[in-house]
Chain A
Amino acid sequence: MADQQIMDVEKEEATQLEDTERTRDRRVYVARADIYETDEAIVVLADVPGADENSVDITIEKNVLTIYAEVEPEQPGEHSLIYQEFDVGDYERSFVLSNQVDRSKIEATVKDGVLRLYLPKMPEAQARKISVRAG
């Protein structure tokens, strides 16, 4: 295919703080994210396949926004795994928010394994268009 491009396949495991361990014996991966900024908001799109609105936790502590998506590993029927390219695990990601973001109006939705975070900017941080008149 001519327009086929290289797509990332390998999952990256999340790093832990030194000398700490996770309570659950489960792999945790870095949720791949796209972040873009518009005039009104900053939007985060994160891949969390296997998670839905009930299994995603979003917390804000001080100025750190953390996404944690729990994914339940499942075994289809009585089958056994004969070929494996990926592991199932939870997803985690943290971002530092700037002061521009209006923390009380953050919206989050999950659809088809993609988490969408809408971080609206404070009115005073929104870009204002200044029209230039001829003098």
Chain B
Amino acid sequence: MFYRRYRNPAMFREMQRLQREMGRLFSAVEGRGQGPTSYPAINIWAGEDSAVMVAELPGVQPDDMDVRVVGDTLTLSGSRAAPEIGEGASYHRRERSFGRFSRTLQLPFKVEAGRVDAEFQKGILKIHLPRAESDKPRKISVKSSS
């Protein structure tokens, strides 16, 4: 029997909607967090006075990365070069992606741009983002007026 997909489009829309909903439900159970939206995937750790952004960028040269911080906005951009395989070589498999990337993130607080520190080790980029003095919460002591 020949199965016609588009005979009843409304039914398929409903099925697709259900499938999407199930997918979301299961991904929430697995606890993978938000799920990456664009390259590279990013994790952010934060404390009272600083935050650390971590990204996996295997094979990217530090010279090809660009980190910019303005206020509470962090922009990470760069490019990942394709491997040089030389003439006459042929690919069996190509799974690693390459090309340009750019991500802009909003941080939980304003950052002291002058003290931002980025390190790249074992293909992992870590950016230490100290909180701006002006943005830190101030404790106000309450005096009694009597």
Contacts and interface: CB of A to CB of B under 8 A. Distances in A.
Partners in one complex: yes
B36 A86 contact: yes
Contacts of B42: 83, 85-86
Contacts of A87: 32-33
B123 A36 contact: no
Nearest to A41: B89
Interface string A13-49: 0000000000000000000111111110011010111
Contact of B123 (A34, A37, A45, A50): A50
What size tier do the contact residues of chain B reach? 35 or more
A4 B101 contact: yes
A81 interface: yes
A9 interface: yes
Interface residues of A, number: 43
A61 to B, nearest CB: 21
Given A34-B83, A35-B93, A83-B42, A4 B59 contact: no
A80 B100 contact: no
A42 B92 contact: yes
Contacts, number: 156
Nearest to A32: B95
B40 A9 contact: yes
A113 B92 CA distance: 21
B24 interface: no
A112 B39 contact: no
Contacts of B93: 33-35
B60 A33 contact: no
Contact of B124 (A11, A77, A113): A113
A82 interface: yes
A107 to B, nearest CB: 16
Interface of A: 1, 3-11, 32-39, 42-43, 45, 47-52, 75-87, 112-114
Interface of B: 32-47, 50-52, 54, 56-61, 80, 83, 85-86, 88-102, 108, 120, 122-124, 126, 128
